Amino acid sequence: MRSDILIIGGGIVGSSIAYYLALRGRSGDIIVVEPDPTYALAATPRGNGGIRQLFSLPENIAMARYGLSFFRQFETEMAVDGDPVPIGFRRQGYLFISDRGGDRQMEQNFRLQIANEVRADCLDREALHARFPSLCTDDVALAVHSPDDAWIDPYAALQGFRRKARSLGVRYVTDKVVDWQGDGRLAKRATLASGETVDADIHVLAAGAWSADIGAMIGLKLPVEPMARETHFFLPAVETEPLPFIKTESHLAFRPEGRGFAGGMPDWSVSAGWNFDASADGFEKIVWPAVAHRVPALETLKLERTWVGHYARNTLDLSAIIGAWTGGIENVYMAVGFSGHGIMHAPAAGRAVAELIADGGFQTLDLSRFGWSRVPNAQPYGEQGIV
Ligand SMILES: Cc1cc2nc3c(=O)[nH]c(=O)nc-3n(C[C@H](O)[C@H](O)[C@H](O)COP(=O)(O)OP(=O)(O)OC[C@H]3O[C@@H](n4cnc5c(N)ncnc54)[C@H](O)[C@@H]3O)c2cc1C
């Protein structure tokens, strides 16, 4: 097979890149290689779908803001043949809680968020209690509430991107890249598990937590590794006021989901590797006590389900790497290492990579600080405070 552009990995990031390139009229020339059209093990359907502007890096704020506006219109904008694509866009806000001594950082981030036109409120203990009476605020130094933030059903959004990209002419090949070759100067060809090959002028790596293994095939050494993270879905016994997506410095992260809640407590220090087994007592010993502490009304609840997904953890700085492999093989582009932010940042990342390829440079958001060069230069560009 031959194409102008080969995209390796058809998750939400690869599919967003394909969609934005197709919008530029490049559709007939794009092949996305994705082994699993059901995305059973991919991060996207296992993610929590949160979209928030509460970041400390201006680029992350801007990307999330674009994601918010994009996903708000998704249902109609991504319709194919007039068939809408509901993704459960729910604008119910985010709440960051300082409960581990990081209040000065959170306040500093808040000022930056306000300066970047994020609608957010900085709440002391009393104000927090007045706004969300079911929260325990005893140990809270400060909180930041962003009412415009939201969440979506990420699987529906992924399938929506994919369907739209295909309707614009992008070709998805159900296969797996097992080798990736170049001549030292340019990438030339990917070999697939079926034995087929794809030759392309431009190669884009967007394979989430699998990216480092694939990059290694062509000599690209990515600081990206799979980090297992559990999510639990639980039903409360009593109702609370509508709660936002809550994230605390002590790593609790959960949000309303249907009649219940979904979330967990990522362990950022967990060793790298694939592990889809849910722990026997992680919910009971760690997550439930933390939830019940923060929202005492959730002391009584029923655990319905636990699943594990994998962050593509960028060990340099937990931020995405977006752009060309500068100083390496320059017809190779990447959008990898999104850690816990790849759903909300997928629209902006897709648009950015399409601009780099089609226009030769960023046109809307300048994401050069997320570029590859910070890896060889060992210059982290990461979030301060809650990641
Ligand atoms: C528990 C959890 C909660 C999260 N919560 C949020 C959240 O609230 N908000 C948010 O924005 N983000 C969240 N994330 C992060 C988000 O899910 C990811 O950053 C995002 O889904 C990454 O998308 P992706 O397309 O890069 O990767 P994936 O969705 O993993 O897609 C990568 C694709 O590459 C394919 N692939 C693998 N090997 C090959 C190969 N050899 N050849 C070709 N293709 C290959 C895979 O089949 C896969 O479909 C969460 C993640 C987890 C695990």
* Separation of CA 7 and ligand 1 centre (Å): 15
E strands, the chain, in order: 2-8, 30-33, 50-51, 94-98, 121-123, 142-146, 150-151, 171-173, 177-182, 187-192, 197-205, 224-236, 245-248, 253-257, 260-264, 301-314, 321-324, 332-336
382: amino acid identity, one letter:
G
DSSP string, 292-342: HHHSGGGGSEEEEEEEEEEEEEETTTSS-EEEE-TTS-TTEEEEE--BT-H
Q: Residues 69-103: pLDDT tens digits?
A: 999 999 999 999 999 999 999 999 999 999 999 99
Q: What is the 3-state secondary structure (H, E, C) of 118-152?
A: CCCEEECHHHHHHHCCCCCCCCCCEEEEECCCEEC
Q: What is the pLDDT, as a whole number, of residue 28?
A: 72
* Separation of CA 237 and ligand 1 centre (Å): 33
* Separation of CA 59 and ligand 1 centre (Å): 20
299: amino acid identity, one letter:
E
Its sign, for the CA torsion 168, 169, 174, 175, is: negative
Residue ranges and CATH numbers for the domains of the chain are 2-81+153-223+316-374 (3.50.50.60), 94-150+228-308 (3.30.9.10)
* Separation of CA 210 and ligand 1 centre (Å): 9
Q: How many residues does the chain have?
A: 387
Q: What is the pLDDT, as a whole number, of residue 26?
A: 74
Region 303-327 average pLDDT: 98
Q: Residues 101-123: pLDDT tens digits?
A: 999 999 999 999 999 999 999 99
Using CB distances shorter than 6 Å, the residues near ligand 1 are 8-14, 33-36, 39, 42-44, 46-50, 176-177, 206-210, 214, 229, 231, 309-311, 338, 340-344
Q: What is the pLDDT, as a whole number, of residue 25?
A: 86
Q: Residues 7-26: pLDDT tens digits?
A: 999 999 999 999 999 999 87
Q: What is the pLDDT, as a whole number, of residue 243?
A: 98
- Give the ligand 1 atom nearest the CA of 193: 41
Confidence grade of residue 27 (pLDDT, cut at 50, 70, 90): low
Q: Is 111 in a helix, a strand, or coil?
A: helix
Q: What is the pLDDT, as a whole number, of residue 216?
A: 98
CA 153 to mean position of chain CA atoms: 12
Question: Could you tell me the pTM of the whole model?
Answer: 0.98
Consecutive H or E run containing 155: helix 154-167
Is residue 308 over pLDDT 80?
yes
Q: Residues 145-169: pLDDT tens digits?
A: 999 999 999 999 999 999 999 999 9
Q: Which of 48, 275, 344 is the pocket-test mutation for ligand 1 (most atoms within 8 Å of CB)?
A: 48
Q: Residues 247-295: pLDDT tens digits?
A: 999 999 999 999 999 999 999 999 999 999 999 999 999 999 999 999 9
* Separation of CA 341 and ligand 1 centre (Å): 10
Q: Residues 295-304: pLDDT tens digits?
A: 999 999 999 9
List Cβ neighbours of 278 (8 Å cut-off, separation of 6 or more).
Answer: 230, 306, 307, 308
